[in-house]
Amino acid sequence: MTRRLGFAALGGALVAVVFVVLVYAAIFISGLIPCRSENFECLGQMVMAEAAAVPLACLAGWPLLYWLGVRPALRVAALAPVVMGGLCWAMLTALPEYALAAFGLAPVSYLVAAWLTARETSGRARIVLGMAVVAAYVAAVVLTLRSNR
């Protein structure tokens, strides 16, 4: 099981690299399109490009995890962005100056997702890990509400 968890973390790191490559490709492509096309400003085009890069990076994670020997690869690839969303949101709300460090959470998220979906994981461990993910979302909401006052 530890080998599979290690490969899941490696897959998460590679998915983070794929995401960065896709975002830079989106920046390059959006530079080729005039900013005033289709009633979007330049920032609107960039946000749409980054929003498209997230699911593409997650889809790239599925065959990558399968190739690395992580089973069930589809469940890990589907659950990891949910885990990563809570962790990144909480971290970026609490410590916005460390935005680049959020990419370091990708391997952790894939490791947690692999642990949650492993057959060997006990029910109690799944409950504890699930509660930790929910706690990250709750902390993110609380921190967001406190910062908006």
pTM: 0.73
User: What is the reported pLDDT for 55?
Assistant: 76
User: What is the reported pLDDT for 60?
Assistant: 80
Cα(50)–Cα(115) distance, rounded to whole angstroms?
Answer: 28
Q: Cis omega before residue 34 (within 30°)?
A: no
Residue at token pair 């330049």: 42
> How many CA atoms are closer than 13 Å to the CA of 66, on its beta-carbon side?
11
| Element (DSSP H or E) covering residue 131 | helix 123-147
Confirm if 26 and 52 have CB atoms less than 8 A apart: yes
Q: What is the pLDDT along the chain (149 residues), one digit of tens a residue?
A: 778 888 888 888 888 888 778 777 777 776 666 666 566 566 666 677 667 777 777 778 888 889 988 888 888 888 888 887 777 777 777 776 776 677 778 888 888 888 888 888 888 988 998 898 888 888 888 877 877 66
Among candidates 81, 115, 132, which has minimal Cα distance to 3? Answer: 115
Number of Cβ atoms within 10 Å of the Cβ of 143: 17
Write out the DSSP string of 49-106: HHHHHHHHHHHHHHHHHHHHT-SSHHHHHHHHHHHHHHHHHHHHHH-GGGGGGGGGHH
